[in-house]
Structure 1
Amino acid sequence: MSIYQHFRPEERDFINQVLNWKAYVEQAYAPKLTDFLNPREQQIVKMIIGQQLEVKWSFFGGSAYTERKRALLYPEYSQNEDGDYKIKLYEIEYPNKFINLAHRDVLGSLMSLGLRREKFGDIVSVGERLQFYCAEEIGDYVRIQLQTVGRAAVQLIEQPLSESIAHEDLWHEKSVSVSSLRLDTVVATIFQLSRQKSQSLINSGLVKVNWTSIENTSFECGEGDTISVRGFGRGKLFSIEGQTKKEKWRISVGRQK
C-alpha cells in the first residue's frame, strides 16, 4: 500500500519533503532542522516518522503556546535543547497611543520583505503588545529591513524566548448534525452562514483548510481540519462521531473566540 493513500493529493509534495528529511538523517547520521510548520504539517511529520528507532522528532516554536513550530529530526542517540531550534523573538515597538496594529498588519509587512511564510512562526498580539518569532538565519535581515508596519514607524527589539507573551486559544465548541462533510456545508455550519454564502466565499478563494486555499465547494472535510474564512475567523472540525439513522453526520465543531 502506498504511503500517499493515507493523505490528500495536495499534500503529496510535502510528504516527499518529509521523506527526504528522514532519508538525510538516516544517511548522514546528523540532525535536520526544518522551517516553521503549521499544525497539519506537524501531524504529517509525526505520521510518517512514527515511532521509529532510527529517527526521532520533536517540535518547538519559541514557547509552549505557539502553533507554528520548527521540527527537529535527529538520530536516536542525539539529545536536543531549545537553542537547537534556532528561533529569534522580536517585539515590535510602535506609537500605540496613536495607532492600532493587528496580526494582519504585521504579517503583510513581513511578507513584503520577500521572505517565505515558512521562515516565520507565530505572530502574537496581547493588548498593545506585538511579538513574532522567526528563523535565526533571517533575524538580522528582518530587524534591519522592517521599519514600518502599516502606517506606523516601528523598531524591533530582540527578546529572550523567556519573555514571550502568551495568547489564550479559546474555542466555542458545539455538536451538530450536517447533511454531508462537504466544505460548503461545514463552513456554513461553523460560521452560521447560508449555503449560498459559504459557496461564494469558497469560490472566491477566501477559504483555507489546514492553511491551504481550497476553491472546491465539494471538498470533503476530515477530522482535525482547521478551516479559516477571511473576514470571519477560524473554525475547526474536532471530531466526526458517525452517522445518524437519517444518514446525517454528527460532528463536533468549534469557532475561535
Structure 2
Amino acid sequence: MDIQTEQIYAHFHPDEHRFVDKAAEWVARAEQHMVKLTDFLDPRQAFIVSALANRSRDIHIRFDGGHEHAERKRAFIAPDYRVLDKEDMGISLISVTSLDNKLKDLDHGDYMGSILAIGMKRDKVGDIYVTDQGCQFLVAIEVADYMRLNLQQVHRVHVQTTLLSLDQLEPAKTRLEEQSLSVASLRLDGIVSDVYHLSRAKILIPIKAGRCKVNWKQEEDPSKPLKAGDMVSLQGFGRFQVLEVEGVTKKGRYRVKIGKYV
C-alpha cells in the first residue's frame, strides 16, 4: 500500500475501504477520459465519491436518484469537459399493485425482501415509496425488465408490476412515529436500546458486530454521542432520526425527541 492510499484510508472506516478502492478507480478512469455511471449509492457512498473526486480538478460528477429529493442516487463521473446535464442516468420507475387490496399492511422491508429474493442486488434499487395501495420504486434501467417480469409476489401477496415514466412518480411522504425519551446520556447504545426496547447488553452485540450505522456510516463504538439530526439504522430493526435534544431535567437526564421510520 502506497503512502497516498494510506492517507485516503485514514479518513474512512476499514469496512469502507473496498468501496473507497472502487470509487478511486472510477475517478482515475475519468481522469483518463472515460466515464462511469454507478449503481445507486447511499448518502455515505455519495459522500465518499465526492470526497475522492474533489481531489481532482479534471473531473466532475452528476448525482441523480430519479427526483429532486431522492436519498439513493446514481452518479455519473466524467472528465470536466463533458456536459452532464443531458446525460441519461439510466433510471426506471416500477409500480407494484394488487387487485385484492392486500398491500395496505406491507412495509418497506416486505418489498425490499421480495426484491432481493428474486436475485436483485440492493445497489440496483433506488428509493422505495410505500402506500396503502402498493409501492413505487426506482431501479437501474438495465434490470427494469427483469424486475417487471419476475417480481410477482410480495410477502405471499400476488402483485402486478408496471413500468412507468419518471414523471409519474408519486413520492410518499416520510412517516415518522415520534417518541420522547428521557436518557442518562446521549450515548448511541443507550438511545438505541430505549428506541427498540432492548437491554443495553443485547444492543451491544449488533453494534460491535458492525450492524449499526450513524448517518449511513458504520459505527461500532457504543459510547458515540448522538446529536440532533443524526440518522441511526440497526440491521433488522429499521432506522430512526434524532429530531431534537430538548434539554436536561433537574435530575441531569436528557430529554430527546426521536422519529422512527414506519
Q: Considering the TM-score relative to the shorter chain, is it more than 0.5?
A: yes
Equivalent position to 1:162, from 153, 162, 167 = 167
Query: Within 5 Å, which residues of 2 pair with 1:153-232?
Result: 153-169=158-174, 179=185, 181=187, 183-188=188-193, 195-199=200-204, 202=207, 207-209=212-214, 216=220, 218=222, 220=224, 226-229=231-234
Q: Counterparts of 2:72 and 2:257 in 1: how far apart (Å)?
A: 21
Match in the other structure for 1:72: 76
1:53 pairs with 2:57: yes
Mapped to 2, the partners of 1:26 and 1:251 lie a distance apart of: 50
Q: Which runs of 5+ in 2 are unaligned?
A: 1-5
Q: 2:51 aligned with 1:37, yes or no?
A: no
2:98 aligned with 1:94:
yes
> 2:67 is matched with which residue?
63
Could you state the TM-score of these two structures normalised by the residue count of structure 2? Answer: 0.77
| Secondary structure, aligned partner of 2:128 | strand
**Which stretch shows the higher mean deviation, 190-199 or 131-140?**
190-199
Name the structure 1 match of 2:115: 110
Cα distance in 1 for residues equivalent to 2:12 and 2:210: 22
Structure-1 separation of matches of 2:256 and 2:28: 38
Match of 1:138 in 2: 143
Which SS does the other structure have where 2:70 is aligned? Answer: coil
- Structure 2 residue aligned with 1:10: 15
Aligned length: 247
Identical aligned residues as a percent: 32
Distance in 2 (alpha carbons) for counterparts of 1:187 and 1:91? 34
Match of 1:26 in 2: 31
TM-superposed CA distance for 1:46, in Å, is 1.7
Q: Secondary structure at the match of 1:36?
A: coil
Is 1:124 matched up with 2:123? Answer: no
TM-score with structure 1 length normalisation? 0.78
Tell me the distance in 2 between the aligned counterparts of 1:111 and 1:143: 14
SS of 2:167 mapped into structure 1: helix
- Give the letter for the 1:167 counterpart: A
How far apart are residue 109 of structure 1 and its match?
1.1
RMSD: 3.6
Query: Matches of 1:3 and 1:16 in 2, distance apart?
Result: 10
Q: Larger deviation: 116-125 or 146-155? A: 146-155
Secondary structure of the corresponding residue to residue 6 of structure 1: coil
**Could you tell me how far 1:256 is from its partner in structure 2?**
3.6
